[in-house]
Amino acid sequence: MQESGTRAVAVSLALFGAAALCEIGGCYAWWCWRREGAGAWVLLPGMACLALFGWLLTLADSDAAGRAFAAYGGIYIVAALAWLRLAEGRPVTARDLAGAALCLAGAALILSAGRAAGR
């Protein structure tokens, strides 16, 4: 049973990672349109990314939507910092990394909450 729980967490983390890329990509399309003067055409793939983001979150193993969203939040923060560094070329600070570590610890605790209740 431990292996099945470990596998479920791994699958959820992979789904959260993919969802984060979709959410960031979709929101970045809006950012480019509104703040950087990109053409309105960027909104179409952006909206597709946001729809895929929503769908991916529904695939995560969770007993409640709110718990899935909360756990996802930690993964999103790490992905946003990776985006900051890799896509925008901005430095990630020690405080950014410390905050991300705290969020990942919180996400892990939240992910385990449903299992601890006898799921």
CB of 75 within 8 A of CB of 16? yes
Q: What percent of the chain has pLDDT over 90?
A: 66
- How far, in Å, CA of 33 to CA of 27, rounded? 10
**Per-residue confidence (pLDDT) for residue 4, from 0 to 100:** 67
The pLDDT averaged over each successive group of 10 residues in the chain (119 residues) is 67 91 95 95 97 94 85 92 94 97 90 61
Report how far residue 49's alpha carbon sits from residue 63's, in angstroms, rounded to the nearest whole number. 25
- CA 107/CA 101 separation, integer angstroms: 10
pTM above 0.85, yes or no: no
Q: What is the DSSP letter of 40?
A: G
Kind plus residue range of the DSSP H or E element containing 37: none
Q: How far apart are CA 45 and CA 35, in angstroms?
A: 17
Task: Tell me the DSSP string of 52-85.
Answer: HHHHHHHTS--SSHHHHHHHHHHHHHHHHHHHHH
The Cα 35–Cα 40 span in angstroms is 12
Which tokens is 37 given? 């003067």
